[in-house]
Amino acid sequence: MSGVAILAIDGPSASGKGSVAQRVAEVLGFAYLDSGALYRLTALAAQQAGVDWCNEPAVARIAQSLDVCFDNGRILLAGQDVSALIRSESIGAGASQVAAFSAVRRALLARQRAFSLGPGLVADGRDMGSVVFPQAQLKIFLTATAEVRAKRRYQQLIDRGELADLLAIMRDLQSRDERDAARAEAPLRQWHDALLLDTSELSLDQVVECVLSWWKTRT
């Protein structure tokens, strides 16, 4: 990992991490790691194998042996394109549940770090700057109010042609926030060396511009 430029973006669900990280990576010409996809894939693989998400040892074994391929924007699980499937609300809830397990996080750690190839990497998740890439040159904690995040998620679902209930989404986000912040290993929080960026009243372009400006200053 030495010598590779790394920008780590952490934050709660629906804060815009993925959209921002992808745009920044494109501008910088860096690789992009969506760490949440690995937890979503683990939840989906467990579900397909008939493994209960509460079964930590079994879920960890699945995480360790995931047959995953990231192919030009597509995400393949055992050869099946699951790019859209892992973005469902139910799998998102499962991902938050299995991500609370220490054994699962340890199983996915090396896989995440393997993405740090030259010239650089933009990684988004919950513990990119604190655990996975503590050597990152820039660490950002991206957030927004629960109301704003719920409305964003609601609009995403509507745009995909799915049914959505704003109040249910709000309750789910709050539940995920509490679970992510309360877990024993790598809890979700702004760490001392991460810059806070509240996106509640900012457009995607404004957030990307801010992140790129901070990156230029740091490097």
- From the annotation, which residues make up the binding site? 11-19
Task: Report the candidate in 148, 146, 157 with the shortest Cα–Cα distance to residue 92.
Answer: 157
- In whole angstroms, give the CA distance from residue 2 to residue 121: 12
Q: For residue 211, count other CB atoms closer than 10 A to its CB.
A: 24
Enumerate the known binding-site residues for ATP.
11-19
Encoding tokens for residue 208?
Answer: 């990307």
* DSSP annotation string for 29-70: T-EEEEHHHHHHHHHHHHHHTT--TT-HHHHHHHHHT--EEE
SS3 state of residue 101: coil
DSSP state at residue 4: -
Q: How far is CA 88 from CA 41, 84, 91, 94, 153, in A?
A: 11, 7, 5, 10, 11
Q: Is 16 left (phi over 0), alpha (psi -120 to 50) or beta?
A: left
